[in-house]
Amino acid sequence: MEQSVPIETDVGIITMRDGIFLDQVQSDGYHMTFTGDINGGLVTNHTGEKEWFPYTLTFHGVLACLSCELDTYEGMGDSSFPGSSDFDIIAESAWLQSLPIRKDYDKDHYHHYRLATYDMIYNIIAKDYELDIDMERNRKTNEQRAEELIRQLGFDFDSISKSEIRNLIEQETEHFQEGSAEYIRLLCGYLYCIGDITDVPLLEKAKYGINMDVGCMIDGEWIDSLKNGGQKTESVSSREDIRNGFVAYYEKFAADDDV
């Protein structure tokens, strides 16, 4: 019976959906190279000294690759997926055993790897891999994280997962990265735009539960608007106007590298 075996990396085992962010995938038909950042708060060897680790992951001798949007993959019934890490080798892989590879290839020289990034799952049959994690480069600032998140999510609010935004806010409130509060403000703005009154407690936790600077950055109007169902009042703009203001502020957002 196949089983997911977590791969130990230089930063330990990478856990949870938000552990690996992907910037780019390149392939020449025989090698596949993934580049992005690893969330240092979601690894087993986290030291607290750095939050983001740039990585380059290259698979050599690639025979096959299947990619799938994460939420769709979760519904496909892979029994080895729940509870697995973000980078696993699949022992006794049924897919590898059933793969009709060339007769001059030896299946014993190949392995089934599964890579779970923020929004995509990759199953790869390859000979081996090389993972280079940059342990020295300075971590991203909160403004750089905000700019990256905007690039990833955009402003099609119907396509953004509320559960993932909530998870990111929970992580940030638990492990707040010092500096500009722009990143957590952005997350809370996203939650306002796609949320409802049930999300008020989490927004209040972020606004009042970290520090005064964060509290000042997170708009109290977002909370008041969710409480009153998005209605315009003397002190609160309509939800449509607040949403439009959020998009106008962030659609051309660029990080200040000095922050």
* Token pair for 234: 């003397």
The better pLDDT of the pair 119, 217 is held by 217
Q: State pLDDT tens for residues 184-205.
A: 999 999 999 999 999 999 999 9
Strand 87-91 relative to strand 64-69: parallel, antiparallel, unpaired? Answer: unpaired
Instruction: Give the helix ranges, DSSP H, for 105-180.
Output: 142-153, 162-174
Q: State pLDDT tens for residues 105-117.
A: 888 899 999 999 9
Q: What is the structure's pLDDT at 259?
A: 46
Q: How many helices (H) and strands (E) does the chain have?
A: 9, 9
Distance CA 210, CA 178 (A): 10
Q: State pLDDT tens for residues 227-251.
A: 999 999 999 999 999 999 999 999 9
Has residue 91 got a pLDDT over 90? Answer: yes
Q: Residue 146: which of 172, 126, 116 has the closest Cα? A: 172
* Token pair for 78: 């892979």
Q: Are 18 and 145 in contact (CB under 8 A)?
A: no
Has residue 22 got a pLDDT over 50? Answer: yes
**Please, which pLDDT band fits residue 137 given cuts at 50, 70 and 90?**
low
Q: What is the structure's pLDDT at 76?
A: 87
- Compute φ and ψ for 227, nearest 5 degrees: -65, -35
Number of neighbours of residue 190 by Cβ within 10 angstroms:
24
Q: What is the structure's pLDDT at 139?
A: 66
The better pLDDT of the pair 194, 45 is held by 194
Distance CA 220, CA 215 (A): 9
Q: Are 259 and 143 in contact (CB under 8 A)?
A: yes
**Please, which pLDDT band fits residue 29 given cuts at 50, 70 and 90?**
confident
Strand 111-116 relative to strand 3-6: parallel, antiparallel, unpaired? Answer: unpaired
